[in-house]
Amino acid sequence: MTGTKWDLFVAAVNLFSTKGYSNVSIRDIASTLNIKAASMYNYFDSKDALLLQIYDFCQYHFDNITANLDNLIDLVPQIPPQQIFEKYLSFFGDEIYGLGLYELMPKVLKIILEEASRDKRAEQLVVKLYYHYPKVYLRPILQKMLELDLIEPIDIDLFLKLYCGLEQRGSLTHGSKLAMSGHDWRKSRRLLFDMIQVK
């Protein structure tokens, strides 16, 4: 996505994340670029199609990042647990923002979280991002570390619940009473992993 289509996409993300999807019209989006509302349909079939594009955008970037996590469990016997944790955290934090999406991705995630109660696709994305990925990638890493006696015993299910809740809360932006700054979110994630006692 490039040019005007990208600009409209970014404008929609900004408006949806601040005003809410249902409170934004095609005209509102078009006016941010000083184009007529009818011109929007040259790029997106409808406001719903634009929302689906936002979901696809998020899915695409997270799928690309998680593709790199597949080999992380193989590194468990080779490098210290702290380095594994740093690599894991960088995939879901620094890596996504390193793509030049530092401003955009939190807004995309906020939209998805807000739409999850009314839109099945958004709900499925929330489940995948905040519950599926940690269970698929983080659980086996922790289990392997326990098997190899690299860490002290830990309740993995409880840890994952804490982690998933923190990830979801970190996606909320300033418009929410539960919002936390990016700095606090990154610090909280690291503190949570620091609670795992390495042998």
Amino acid 173: pLDDT: 52
DSSP letter for 195, please.
T
Q: Which two tokens stand for residue 78?
A: 């080779």
Q: What is the model's pTM? A: 0.77
Amino acid 174: pLDDT: 45
Average pLDDT rounded to a whole number, residues 10-25: 93
Could you give the angle at which helices 104-115 and 3-19 cross, rounded to 10 degrees?
A: 60
Assign residue 154 a region: left if phi > 0, alpha if psi is -120 to 50, beta otherwise? beta
Handedness of CA 164, 170, 172, 177 (dihedral sign): positive
Q: What is the dihedral of CA 166, 127, 1, 36, to 10 degrees?
A: -90
For 54, other C-beta atoms within 10 Å of its C-beta total: 23
Q: Which of 55-59, 72-76, 104-108, 175-179 comes out lowest in average pLDDT? A: 175-179
Q: Which of 97-101, 145-149, 186-190 has the highest mean pLDDT?
A: 145-149
Question: Cα(157)–Cα(160) distance, rounded to whole angstroms?
Answer: 5
- Kindly report, residue by residue over 133-166, the tens digit of the pLDDT: 888 888 999 999 999 999 999 999 999 988 888 8
Question: Cα(184)–Cα(186) distance, rounded to whole angstroms?
Answer: 6
Q: Which runs of E-coded beta strand occur in 81-159?
A: none
